[in-house]
């Protein structure tokens, strides 16, 4: 994945492309499981309103953060497309499946 210039986990993230990158139906980026025992959040807007943080792939199979399981739909590029799934209290950290 490529950051769109303003941090990961927002609509500006895109997949990589080029002569060595293939995008076949059976081959795509997958994060099998994200498990964080504590909290996950980005930077408060009072510190930096321009950055974003997150996990980004075509398919994310499981997210568990701070004892909470986040509902995801099986398959690629179908969860919270374009906006991502907010996982922190300050809306600066997201889980995003890109198309």
Domain boundaries, the chain: 1-99
Higher pLDDT, 1 or 60: 60
pLDDT at position 34, please? 93
Q: Give the residue with greater pLDDT, 65 vs 77.
A: 65
Residue 83 structure tokens: 């906006």
In three-state secondary structure terms, 34 is: strand
pLDDT at 91 over 60: yes
Tokens of 84: 């991502």
What are the tens digits of pLDDT across the range 7-60?
A: 655 666 666 554 445 556 567 788 999 999 988 888 888 888 877 788 888 889
Which stretch of DSSP H or E encloses residue 64? strand 63-65
Over residues 93-97, mean pLDDT? 83
């Amino acid at each position: 994945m490529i950051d769109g210039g303003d941090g990961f986990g927002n609509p500006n993230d895109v997949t990589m492309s080029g002569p060595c990158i293939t995008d076949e139906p059976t081959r795509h980026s997958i994060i099998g499981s994200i498990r964080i025992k504590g909290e996950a959040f980005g930077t408060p807007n009072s510190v930096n309103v321009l950055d974003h943080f997150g996990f980004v792939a075509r398919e994310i199979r499981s997210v568990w953060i701070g004892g909470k399981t986040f509902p995801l739909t099986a398959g690629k590029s179908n969860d919270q497309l374009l906006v991502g799934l907010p996982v922190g209290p300050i809306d600066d950290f997201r889980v995003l499946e890109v198309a």
